[in-house]
Structure 1
């Protein structure tokens, strides 16, 4: 049985460092660990960013080392249509950053509650939920027809994602509270940061951290690890749930939209690791003469760095300090919809048309 020792070692180190920083910031600096404050350029913040960079490099290097123990990575080749879609997402992200640089008021207006981007985020999440629900139903039929254990696993995984994305989508629009003009119950209003009928704003910092880090793991980290483990998964239903490099490239711009919680170490690490992973993929593409993929991965990485720097340097111009995270949630939702669509597409054909499904 393969055990990713390098990754486990780096995870333990990262957790220990985070714990030490939490204790220091609470005991010495007197601040909470998930504050929403304007980015600062002071000695401790620079040190924290340096620590985040070192840990990020260490984690990516550990994944690569453990991956090589399994086998050589697959060639990071993408179909032309996937390159175009991914590039289009990055261009749209750059437009959003440009819009902020030109008119912070419009940038803010697009991200307000019940605004176009909030509803678009909910639409993507509902689309992802529906696709996973359809996938789950199909796998249930296959499982009951004797398709094997992997079909049952795919059924439960699809049902899980369908439920999670539906709940997240409803949370995004406060369970349609404002659509039906439902007053916030007093019990919710006392606990909710924005006096809305939802759960995630009862502890906004913690819920955002879980959502953003979870999205990073699913949409960026797993596709990168898939370079090595995809071959081991075979062609059964379970392998369809492994996110592709297309999902990674199209979702990566989400890493650039941070500001108020930039001082939270996992947020910094997710942004830095996304850039590092893209540069590793660009290097691998270059080694195989894949110029189109090289330009895509390198271009997305450079764009993320430029956009993130803009939000940090110009944070004083933001109407709301958390405006960039509203855009971040849009790109996360779009990435989840692409992931759901690609997973459903892989499993749309009967199992008999693929390799044996039994584990």
Structure 2
């Protein structure tokens, strides 16, 4: 296990920096003219594309970790099933975020989604559920409970009861460093306090995607606050790949900006 402080690891620091930059943009673009803020938070905007990119990369990372675990121990285990399941879940989240490329490819929604989707899009999370959507009625509540448990409750318990972390890791999961998790949660709270916009919740979702991108990489690949052997067990290799991954984290924000422009996110509600 790598025991260094979270803020001394460049990948986690880069993830926090990206989230701070996006929050600063949101605050700077708030005001009477909301055009730029819509460009940031609207459909096919910078924040939505950033979520897609982070979830897509996380899915690839988890799939790679699963393949490495299989090579080390070629047998079906709870740990392997969890990693493959999480890889599939994050891939689904990525595709749902951009409605399976529907708007990019200009594909008409099937009749079922036209009748039952709150935004008439081909995705599951906006399916109508009563007067709201599946996302607002169910998924947001589940995400909140899972997020608080994974980032606050379990890491706090693990500080006095190391068996908690061993139990989590035995299931193929990991616990984020507590300080990094607190930084993420503080940014979410600030986004709700400082921004007035009907889609300001997208900021918190993006902060979570970036947070998990950084902590998944540092746990499984480098061994930060992780008790099992990481992918890169050699410290020198870990430092080199971490430096490269910092550039990836920064590049994803630039790519999200370019994709939002290409998708026609003009700032209109």
Change (3 A) 1:222 1:100: farther
Q: Residue 20 of structure 1 aligns with which residue? A: none
Distance 1:255 1:76 in 2: 25
Distance 1:141 1:123 in 2: 27
TM-score, length of structure 2 as denominator length = 0.68
Distance 1:155 1:108 in 2: 41
Structure 1 SS opposite 2:107: coil
Distance 1:240 1:129 in 2: 14
Distance 1:162 1:91 in 2: 27
Q: Residue 210 of structure 1 aligns with which residue? A: 142
Change (3 A) 1:229 1:76: farther
Change (3 A) 1:216 1:90: same
Shift of 1:117: 1.8
Give the one of 243, 247, 250 matched to 2:176.
243
Give the one of 112, 127, 140 matched to 2:42.
112
> Unaligned 5+ residue runs, structure 2?
128-133, 224-229, 234-269
Distance 1:211 1:234 in 2: 23
Write the mapping of 1:47-196 to structure 2, written as runs, cut at 5 A: 77-81=5-9, 84-85=13-14, 88-89=17-18, 91-92=20-21, 94-102=23-31, 103-144=33-74, 152-196=77-121
Q: Residue 340 of structure 1 aligns with which residue? A: 216
Write the mapping of 1:216-227 to structure 2, written as runs, cut at 5 A: 216-227=148-159
Change (3 A) 1:100 1:253: farther
> Unaligned 5+ residue runs, structure 1?
1-74, 146-150, 257-303, 351-359
Q: Determine if contact 2:95/2:101 at 8 Å carries over to the other structure.
A: yes
Q: Determine if contact 2:51/2:94 at 8 Å carries over to the other structure.
A: yes
The two structures, once aligned, show a CA RMSD in angstroms of 3.1
TM-score, length of structure 1 as denominator length = 0.52
Distance 2:176 2:203 in 1: 22
Give the one of 289, 303, 308 matched to 2:192.
308
Q: Which has the higher contact order (CA 8 A, sep 6+)?
A: 2
Distance 1:349 1:236 in 2: 21
Structure number, greater radius of gyration:
1
Distance 2:169 2:232 in 1: 11
Change (3 A) 1:343 1:80: closer
Q: Determine if contact 2:55/2:213 at 8 Å carries over to the other structure.
A: yes
Distance 1:201 1:254 in 2: 25
Distance 2:218 2:168 in 1: 15
